[in-house]
Amino acid sequence: MNISDFALKLLILFLPGIICSFIVDTFTNHKERAKFEFIINSYVYGLLSYGFYWLLISKLGGLVAIEETHVIFLASLFDQSKVVSFKEIFNVCIVATLLGALITYVHTHKLHFRLLRFLRVTKKFGELDVWGYFMNSPDVNWITVRDIENNLMYDGWVQAFSDNSKEAEILLGDVVVYKNDTGEELYEVSSQYLSLDRAKIIIEMRK
């Protein structure tokens, strides 16, 4: 088997890992990753997908009407006489899609961080920064944003917000705008988009 054939087989066989990694990268908030990290993640997710598929067909194959009893993944990769099973790859792609959704759910709800915090293994909260931790808190609904530089105060409920504090973007609903120093009401709007310098604002949460 020449290098090009091996590389092609490797790409096809690790398609499930690429799918899983793409789902996780697309639907989770995370720091920008290098291409090398995506490749490593695809490799790991691919192995996990094949591992779960092997468990499925070896332990539960009879229950879900799967005829195959073994995975030919490694055999077809290193043995030129073995033919790539596209049916197996398709089935593993389904497993990879479900695995990607599961990892995304765990990451989104920070279940792994919650568990380790409960066990007192770590004090990290899992968000990109304190902005994400504060804005994603279930206690945060109505907030007051004080724009110190422009002497304005915005009071409303949080409709949407940016993923990190670099942009400090907030969409508020049922907004009442006041002068910050006197508390004088200026106007009301049904919703208002704010993009402010994080160094010049104060955000307060209502009790």
Question: Per residue in 102-121, pLDDT tens?
Answer: 999 999 888 888 898 889 88
pLDDT at 13 over 90: no
Q: What is the pLDDT of residue 163?
A: 78
* Averaged pLDDT, 117-141: 83
Cα separation, 175 vs 144, in Å, equals 10
Domains along the chain with CATH numbers: 3-117 (no CATH), 130-205 (2.30.30.100)
| Structure token pair of residue 3 | 């290098």
Burial class (CB in 10 A: 0-12, 13-18, 19+), 157: middle
Helices (H), the chain: 3-13, 15-27, 35-59, 73-78, 86-108, 111-118, 130-135
* Averaged pLDDT, 63-89: 69
Q: For 157-196, what is each residue's pLDDT tens digit? A: 999 988 776 778 999 999 999 999 999 999 999 999 999 8
Cα separation, 181 vs 152, in Å, equals 8
Cα separation, 45 vs 158, in Å, equals 35
Residue type, 167: E
Residue 5's pLDDT band, with cuts at 50, 70 and 90, is low
Q: What is the pLDDT of residue 96?
A: 96
- Identify whether the C-beta of residue 204 lies closer than 8 Å to the C-beta of residue 144: yes
User: Is residue 147 within a helix (H) or strand (E), and if so which, with residue range?
Assistant: strand 142-147
Counting residues of the chain whose pLDDT is more than 70, the rounded percentage is 87
Single pTM value for the model: 0.73
Q: What is the pLDDT of residue 84?
A: 73
CA distances to 57, 61, 69, 73, 151 from 66, rounded to whole Å, are: 6, 5, 8, 17, 67
3-state DSSP assignment of residue 137:
coil
Q: What is the pLDDT of residue 25?
A: 93
Cα separation, 96 vs 199, in Å, equals 42
| Structure token pair of residue 126 | 């899992």
Burial class (CB in 10 A: 0-12, 13-18, 19+), 106: middle
